[in-house]
Every structure is written in C-alpha cells, then in structure tokens.
Amino acid sequence: MGGWVAITILRNNFMAKIKINKNKCKGCYLCVVNCPNNLIKIEKELNIKGIKSACFSEGKCTGCAMCAVICPDGAIEVYRDI
Ligand code: SF4
Ligand code: SF4
C-alpha cells in the first residue's frame, strides 16, 4: 500500500471527504463496490493510464475508511472536512 495514505478516525457527527489520486488508480473498482454509502463512482474521463478512475460523488461520507483500506494502490486519502 502506498505510503501517503492517511486515515483519520472520525466521530459520526463530523463530515468526512476522500481524495482519490486519479492517476494512481488502476480501475479495479474495489472501492466502488465496497463503499457502504455508494459514494464512489466511475469517472467519465480517462486518466494518464487510459483508465476510467474511481471518483468521489457528493454525499455523506462517514469517514469509515473502507475505501482507503481496500485500495490496493493506496490511491485514496480520507480526511475530516473542517
Ligand atoms: S480501489 Fe484504488 S485502484 Fe481500485 S478503483 Fe478504487 S481508487 Fe482505483
Ligand atoms: S470513507 Fe467510507 S463512506 Fe466515505 S467514501 Fe470511503 S468507504 Fe465510502
């Protein structure tokens, strides 16, 4: 897993966001199918690898970090929205 993945433990009353490094994404979509709130979609544009990367869609992210943990390439960062 990439070294720059940072996971923040959040209380439920805080909004969270994720940041996906689209050019690092290889399009396996493990994050898409494992987000319990269906907040991760597939980008329409191709990344530099010629792949439609995962992208965050607006919605209530709980900061559970499932997406970051499951990403095999460490392409997702979860952080508190302050
Ligand atoms: S799990 Fe990681 S590599 Fe796979 S689609 Fe999501 S961001 Fe991309
Ligand atoms: S942190 Fe949890 S709720 Fe937020 S996008 Fe990732 S899997 Fe979904």
Give the pLDDT confidence of 37-52 residue by residue, as tens digits. Answer: 999 999 999 999 999 9
Where residue 43 falls (left for φ over 0; alpha for ψ -120 to 50; beta otherwise) is: beta
Ligand 1 lined by 39 (C-beta under 6 Å): no
CATH number of the domain where residue 21 is located: 3.30.70.20
pTM metric for this prediction:
0.83
pLDDT band at 81 (very low <50, low <70, confident <90, very high): low
* DSSP H helix total and E strand total for the chain: 2, 4
Q: Residue 37: its pLDDT value, please?
A: 96
Answer whether residue 58 is part of any domain. Answer: yes
Q: Which of 66, 81, 73 is nearest to 17 (CA)?
A: 81
Strand-pairing partners, residue 17, are 79
Closest CA to 43 of 25, 61, 17: 25
Q: How many domains does the chain have?
A: 1
Mean pLDDT in the chain? 87
Rounded to 5 degrees, what angle do the CA atoms 6, 7, 9 make?
150
Rg (CA), the chain: 12
pLDDT of residue 15: 83
Q: Does 31 contact ligand 1 (Cβ within 6 A)?
A: yes
Q: Give the domain extent around 47.
A: 16-80
- Residue 70 forms part of a structural domain: yes
Distance 60 CA to ligand 2 centre (A): 9
